[in-house]
Structure 1
Amino acid sequence: MRVGLFVTCLVDAMRPEIGFSVLKLLEAAGCEVVVPDTQTCCGQPGYSSGDRKAARALAEKFVREFEGFDYVVIPSGSCGGNVKTHYADLFADDAAWAERMARLAPRVYELTDFLHTVINLQALPGAGKCDGPVTYHDSCCGLRELGVQRQPRALLARAGVEVKEMTDSRQCCGFGGTFAVKYGDISTAIVDEKCANIRASGASAVVLGDLGCMLNIEGRLRRNGDDKTRVLHVAQVLAGDI
């Protein structure tokens, strides 16, 4: 099985170690993993800000780079949601590109959905390596655009990780891309509530599948003086890179 890995901008620029954890998991699943070195952005910032021209150019680039793979795996609910949900809108006025995307879309998966639904991976590299319970934050795009909720929890359970559910795990963390910049006060109030729920869960770490949320939550925890609660991408936990 030949898998194209879309690393995402934030992983590449901010937390490349997550990309290596993803690679470890996919190789453990027996996949031949290819990371196209020309990949850049999925176009979500442009699309969300109304710059359809820039978003369309990046969408075409993505399709050209990844349509030749058996599957495409993305360790981010927001980028995965943009590709699977919004590219159809960007190509709505072009039958040829719409058809190419329609053929590609069913092969595009968020990481945990791929490992659980397509591969049904049983032997996880991180099994038995997590010390203490964690809580899980459901990122908005992964949950609402891709239906990712039970998949990461099932994989964590398979790896022997205890999940202590926080109050309102499905509630937004306040990041929302440019929302956090445009509406800073509202975003801060939202993430403060999320941080309070994380602490109240009693878990020593919060795990999630979207780096934007990860950076937002970790940044707020640290600014509020919490330097103990760990903020981990689900790939790191499942791969044992913690």
Structure 2
Amino acid sequence: MRVALFLTCVNDTLFPDTGRAVVTLLNRLGVDVDFPMGQTCCGQPQYNTGYRHQAEPLARRFADVFGEYDAIVTPSGSCGSMVRELYPRMGARARAEGRGDSLARAVAPVVPKTFELTEFLVDVLGVTDVGAYYPHAVTYHPTCHGLRGLRLADRPLRLLQAVKGLELRELPGAEECCGFGGTFAVKNADVSAAMGADKVRHAVSTGAEVLCAADNSCLTHIGGTMSRLRVGMRPVHLAEILASTEAEPLPWETQPQESRS
């Protein structure tokens, strides 16, 4: 199986450790991972802000760059949801506007083989115990795209429950949005900040050391709120927890990233 890592532009720019963790994890499970250097943004910021025609060339590029692979794995529920949910809509809309089927035909092959990391682990590789060791109390925030878009359900929780040394604590109001929502946080800053504060308050109430999620965009928002409120809790991407082992803990695991502070 030829597997490609779609890291996403946010992770590539701000959270490269997440990408390293995905490669470390998949290599440990016997999966060789390619990183196509031609990958760019999936077009989600343009699409969500109303510039939908401008997102189309990025969808075509994604299809060109990743089309040859058997599976495309991403540590981002939001970008995975963009490919799986919105690329087909973009193709259908282009057809409805009389611009033909070329976009729909271009993206059709990559849509079904794009997987968020936990989907790939549980559904494709068929594993929940990935051999991880993470001796911390952790609470899990299911992000909106993962929960409502990709319908990840309990896949992330099943993976976390199998991590040795990890104490998983239930997050009150887990299914409530953290308030990030991409440009929502910019256009509705006060509401976004209030939602973020609610999420942090619930996380702190668990007594956990770490808040985990499968999308760094949400962790950026939550982590910034944690830093401003000085709650002493760390946001950590799920991939970094799953990549850590007792024999080889990740070198960055115990150090908060500056971009999340």
For the criterion TM > 0.5, the same-fold answer is yes
Aligned residue number for residue 222 of structure 2: 217
Q: Distance in 2 between matches of 1:149 and 1:205?
A: 21
Quote the offset at 1:100 in angstroms: 3.6
SS of equivalent to 2:168: coil
Aligned residue number for residue 62 of structure 2: 62
Residues 218-233 of structure 1: matches in 2 within 5 Å? Answer: 218-226=223-231, 228-233=232-237
Quote the offset at 1:133 in angstroms: 1.6
Q: Distance in 2 between matches of 1:52 and 1:107?
A: 23
Q: Distance in 1 between matches of 2:147 and 2:88?
A: 19
Quote the offset at 1:122 in angstroms: 5.2
Q: Distance in 2 between matches of 1:13 and 1:68?
A: 25
Q: Distance in 2 between matches of 1:208 and 1:122?
A: 16
Q: Distance in 1 between matches of 2:37 and 2:77?
A: 21
* Corresponding position: 1:144 with 2:148: yes
* Corresponding position: 1:193 with 2:193: no
Between the two proteins, what is the percent identity of the paired residues? 39
- Matched AA of 1:194: K
Quote the offset at 1:105 in angstroms: 1.4
Q: Distance in 2 between matches of 1:91 and 1:30?
A: 35
Q: Distance in 2 between matches of 1:111 and 1:224?
A: 31
Unaligned runs of 5+ in 1: none
SS of equivalent to 2:192: helix
Quote the offset at 1:103 in angstroms: 2.6
Write out per-residue CA displacement over residues 109-142 of structure 1, whole angstroms, 9 at most, x where no aligned residue: 00011011110235525x23x1222000000001
Q: Distance in 2 between matches of 1:78 and 1:211?
A: 10
CA contact (8 A) 2:60 2:106 kept: no
Q: Distance in 1 between matches of 2:208 and 2:18?
A: 21
Q: TM-score, normalised by structure 2?
A: 0.88
* Corresponding position: 1:105 with 2:111: yes
Q: Distance in 2 between matches of 1:37 and 1:103?
A: 20
Choose between structure 1 and 2: higher helix proportion. 1
- Matched AA of 2:109: R
Report the RMSD for the aligned CA atoms in angstroms: 1.3
Write out per-residue CA displacement over residues 182-209 of structure 1, whole angstroms, 9 at most, x where no aligned residue: 0000001100000000000111110000
Aligned residue number for residue 4 of structure 2: 4
Q: Distance in 2 between matches of 1:238 and 1:9?
A: 22
- Matched AA of 2:206: S
Unaligned runs of 5+ in 2: 245-249, 254-261
1:157 maps to which of 138, 161, 165: 161
